[in-house]
């Protein structure tokens, strides 16, 4: 039993050292970039998304706000937080002559030494939308006795 405890402690130390070594290989820019993206996806960074007309080099459309961006290849999905519980989602079709760019509106302080992990407990218990007839639900309950 004593040997098992020692070997387990050695394995845990090796594993912890390996994880530490792997995370130390990332440069500061990579960590900062990932942390900025995570903040933006959690609606913490003001952005401006601009679609350009590739023929005339003029802006076609601009969306500003605390927006998360998801590039789906043929379309760009922009979800913006407009209030404490209010969101808007915009879909933009992308073509060969409609490039877009995303501008961060202000500097944001993020750590270059620590990766950011965001845990949202409300995502474990999702909101449930009931669709149906409440009377039918009651009738079913009365018929089965449950």
pLDDT in tens, 36-87: 999 999 999 999 999 998 899 999 989 999 999 999 988 999 999 999 999 9
Provide the β-strand partners of residue 66: 46, 81
Enclosing domain of residue 65 = 27-144
Q: Is residue 33 part of a domain?
A: yes
- The predicted structure's pLDDT at residue 17: 59
**Percent of the chain residues past pLDDT 70, beyond the cut:** 73
Task: Give pLDDT, residue 96.
Answer: 86
pTM of the model: 0.61
Is 13 part of any domain? no
Res. 13: pLDDT tops 70: no
For the chain, the domain total comes to 1
Assess if residue 109 is contained within a domain.
yes
Structural domain contains residue 35: yes
């Amino acid at each position: 039993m004593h040997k098992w405890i020692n070997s387990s402690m050695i394995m845990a130390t090796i594993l912890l050292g390996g994880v530490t070594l792997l995370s130390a290989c990332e440069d500061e820019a990579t960590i900062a970039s990932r942390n900025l993206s995570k903040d933006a996806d959690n609606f913490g960074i003001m952005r401006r998304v601009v679609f350009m007309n590739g023929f005339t080099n003029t802006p076609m459309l601009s969306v500003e706000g605390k927006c998360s961006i998801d590039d789906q290849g043929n379309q760009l999905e922009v979800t913006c937080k407009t209030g404490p519980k209010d969101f808007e989602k915009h879909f933009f079709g992308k073509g060969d002559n409609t490039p877009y760019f995303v501008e961060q509106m202000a500097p944001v302080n993020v750590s270059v030494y620590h990766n950011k992990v965001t845990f949202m407990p409300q995502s474990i218990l999702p909101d449930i939308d009931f669709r149906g007839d409440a009377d039918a639900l009651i009738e079913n309950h009365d018929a089965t006795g449950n």
